[in-house]
A and B are shown apart, each in its own frame.
Chain A
């Protein structure tokens, strides 16, 4: 059984000392190749989503005048994106990240005990 619920309630960190390993599990943290792969995947999804964020924010903003020549739902597109479109993209980005990472945790066995 992964981490026990007890750890949540035990203060193990004395300010003057270093971090201590969790009890009953002995030894130091073990990072396997699988763990490194998990972190790499995290970096990849972070980079992809950040790129989308960058385009929806700064590229969109830079070309707002040009985008305004296009009309969408009766809005000039540049205005629409800054007032609503990019905001929706932000919400979706965060939703995708939460969903993807929460699944990746389980897949790589680094998930926390279910507490729902």
Chain B
């Protein structure tokens, strides 16, 4: 039996390698085919649609082939996913639309300070490897609340786990579905709402039919697409700039050139002129806002007088027409005027000099710089511990065949994630060089092709206005939306449109794969932890899987509906999910393995305190929450931003677990045995906790 199992696992591994090699080759062939068709005049919209439907069709096919009604297959892919492939699946599970499309843009816009996300979202895997993955694998059940329920006996710990898992995952999944809608609408011209539901169909065929098994094999396929899509244009652009196809190593010199351009721009007379205009407009708006009523009347009167004067003097018709137009464009009422002034006030930011890209923690004085540094480290901290506590990631380590493979699998996970995350900062610098050297200083009449195209398509991505009317582009006249950086790369690199389609397919793969993992986590928390473990422990396996599938459908629809409302603040909410997960889960999970004395009461109190402190801080410091919940604002503790609330929540939870555990009786022998059990990959006379 064991020999047969050993053989089949090896054969299975071989088979996977063969299938995915063929698949990768086929995908590259597909790209080449489209590239050839493009030369023969295939319209762009068709290329976009071909990528959309070919990839979603492929995911659906994998979903149908891997359909299952078996519990262990549905929840943990039969626990036979080899380390290498689990690494790829985790990579796709992990890298969301925000990583794929947004990360390089964040780095472009905020320079060094954006690296807190790069470090946080990779370094967290060290914690996963050292503290969680091997032990959870040995424990070997289905969900994270399973571990909390077993280790801290009873349903209270499990329930808190379920609630935290759902809060953290739901916020996150809404952001993914939102991303799917954006990408499909941008590249195929479908309407946003329709894009959301096409994407949703892609997510559902896969997770609905085959649960974790289908999701795993789809995620591997999605990883391959997303990494090819991300690296191809960057490598191409890198060859153009650095001369070698490994720009990640060679972009140091490009960074130096960007530094020189920054200095040049900061002393350029025309740039200073534009900034002065912005500063004046901001100052005028500020002055108007002090006494809006008077300013509104005065502004209107001035325009009317001007028009009357021109008419009286019999001025040329075009001057009169311009004056009439200005009057017609004047805000209709005071509210509209206030809105406009508030927007103008923001121009002050564009009046500021360019910050050096590689400079850490810029600020107006030493105190501001130190606060910026604390916040940088705060974000790193929360993203790392959040990574090591997000259920959809930890769940993936239940799917390997052994503890040994789980350890190796974390290595492959981070390796595959690293490939994208060490490319993003490089892409940001290459893009910045392109903008500073080619776009800045070009004539408005002859913008570089990509800039003209994107400015026409979507002004929120790229907006260039000739503020000082000199006919030449100044940096201060350009507004770039973060998402542009990844989207524009193929065109900047001079690649055909088919590569833009590929990038869209990559972004879609990143969003769909993460959404799959998250939906499954939420549905499992409800069906396995809540329904099976707490409501009906005698449910048949068939019923358990059916309930899970039904819930998956409901959760997906609710998430898609929420996303179609286009909620604001989605990025803040995603960041907040990390702080929440870190505060609620991390201490209880880690102490559960490393400290036998940690008991039920400690864990319950600790999770509640961690979650409570985290939510309290956010509710009282984040302006939107203050508005929503009507809370009283408090001063920020040490200037820490609300997104990093986990900096306070996690230690508070940890200390609470220790203190309360020590004040209450030690856990019984059974629990202590469970702890011993998860610490050793194999023990003679071991208990068995693995669920099948």
Taking a contact as CB atoms under 8 Å apart, the answer to whether B686 and A22 are in contact is yes
Does A98 have its Cβ within 8 Å of any Cβ on chain B? yes
Which of chain A's residues have a CB closer than 8 A to the CB of B414?
90-91, 94
For residue B681, which residues in chain A have a CB less than 8 angstroms away from its CB? Answer: 105, 110-112
A75→B683 contact, CB < 8 A: no
Contact with B along A69-91 (1 / 0, CB 8 A): 00011111011101110111011
Whether the Cβ atoms of B360 and A65 lie closer than 8 Å is yes
Q: A5-B1, A102-B404, A111-B404 are in contact. Are A57 and B380 (CB under 8 A)?
A: yes
For chain B, the bracket of interface size reads: 35 or more
The reply to whether A26 and B685 form a contact with Cβ atoms under 8 Å apart is yes
- Closest-by-CB residue of A relative to B10 is A116
Query: Residues of B contacting A98 with CB < 8 Å?
Result: 129, 407-408, 410-411
B134 at the interface (CB under 8 A from A): yes
Give the complex CA separation of A18 and B418 in angstroms: 42
A38 B685 Cβ-Cβ under 8 A: no
A9 cross-chain contacts in B, Cβ below 8 A: 692
Whether A27 lies near B685 (C-beta < 8 A) is yes
Judge if B389 is at the interface, Cβ distance under 8 Å.
no
Q: Give, as a whole number of angstroms, the nearest-CB distance from B687 to chain A.
A: 4
**Are A84 and B686 in contact, CB atoms less than 8 angstroms apart?**
no
Given the known interface contacts A61-B377, A94-B410, the answer about A29 and B360 at a Cβ–Cβ threshold of 8 Å is no
| Pair A53/B248 contact, Cβ less than 8 Å | no
Q: Are B125 and A4 in contact (CB under 8 A)?
A: no
| Among candidates A7, A57, A105, residue contacting B119 with C-beta atoms closer than 8 Å | A57
Cβ B404 vs Cβ A74 within 8 A: no
- Please measure, in the bound complex, the distance between the C-alpha atom of A8 and the C-alpha atom of B252, giving whole angstroms: 51
Option from B118, B122, B682 in Cβ contact (under 8 Å) with A2:
B682
Kindly report which residue of chain B lies nearest to residue A50, judged by CB atoms: B130
What residue of chain B has the Cβ atom nearest to residue A74's Cβ?
B252
C-alpha gap A61/B360 in the complex (Å): 9
Chain A neighbourhood of B255, CB < 8 A: 74-76, 79
Query: Smallest CB–CB gap between A97 and chain B, Å?
Result: 6
B683 cross-chain contacts in A, Cβ below 8 A: 29-31, 35, 110
Q: Chain B residue with minimal CB distance to A84?
A: B422
- Interface contact A4-B2, CB-CB below 8 Å: yes
Residues of A within 8 A of B13 (CB): 116
Q: Is A94 touching B670 in the complex (CB atoms < 8 A)? A: no
Which one of B122, B402, B425, B670 contacts A115 once the chains associate, using CB atoms below 8 Å?
B402
CB of B373 within 8 A of chain A? yes
With a cutoff of 8 Å between Cβ atoms, the chain B residues found around residue A61 in the complex are 116, 119, 373, 376-377, 380
B685 near A74 with CB under 8 A, answer: no
Would you give the shortest CB distance from A102 to chain B, in whole angstroms? 5
**Least CB separation from B2: chain A residue:** A5
B253 nearest in chain A by CB position: A74
User: Which residues does chain B contribute within 8 Å of A26, judged by CB atoms?
Assistant: 685
CB pair A78–B410 under 8 Å, yes or no, is no
**Is the beta-carbon distance between A87 and B122 smaller than 8 angstroms?**
yes
How far, in Å, is A9 (CB) from chain B's closest CB? Answer: 6
Residue B665 CB within 8 A of the other chain: no
Q: Contact mask B401-442 → A, CB, 8 Å, 1/0? A: 111110110110011001001100110000000000000000
B-contacting residues, A8-31, CB 8 Å: 8-13, 15-16, 18-22, 25-31
B27 near A: Cβ within 8 Å? no
Chain A's closest residue to B690 (CB) is A8
**B353 interface residue (CB < 8 Å to A):** no
Q: How far is the CB of B670 from chain A (nearest CB, A)?
A: 5
Closest-CB distance, B91 to chain A (whole angstroms) = 13
The residue in chain A whose Cβ has the minimal distance to the Cβ of B357 is A79
A101 and B407 contacting across the interface, CB-CB below 8 Å: yes
Q: Contact between B122 and A90 (Cβ–Cβ < 8 Å)?
A: yes
Instruction: Tell me whether A13 and B688 are in contact (CB under 8 A).
Output: yes
Q: In the complex, what distance in Å separates the CA atom of A82 from the CA atom of B524? A: 36
Stretch of B341-349, B547-555, B672-680 lying at the A interface: B672-680
A10 touches B688 (CB 8 A): yes
User: How far is A47 from B682 in the complex, measured between Cα atoms in Å?
Assistant: 23
Which residue of B123, B425, B687 is within 8 Å of A22 (Cβ)?
Answer: B687
Assembly CA distance A86 to B249 (angstroms)? 14
| 10 CB < 8 A contacts A-B | A22-B686, A22-B687, A39-B679, A58-B381, A65-B373, A75-B255, A78-B358, A82-B118, A90-B418, A113-B6
Having A39-B679, A82-B360, A91-B414, one finds 7 other A-B pairs with CB under 8 Å, namely A20-B688, A57-B123, A94-B125, A98-B129, A112-B403, A112-B404, A115-B5
Chain A positions within 8 Å of B, measured between CB atoms, are 2-13, 15-16, 18-22, 25-31, 35, 38-39, 42, 46, 49-50, 53, 56-58, 61-62, 64-65, 68, 72-76, 78-80, 82-84, 86-88, 90-91, 93-95, 97-98, 101-102, 105, 110-116
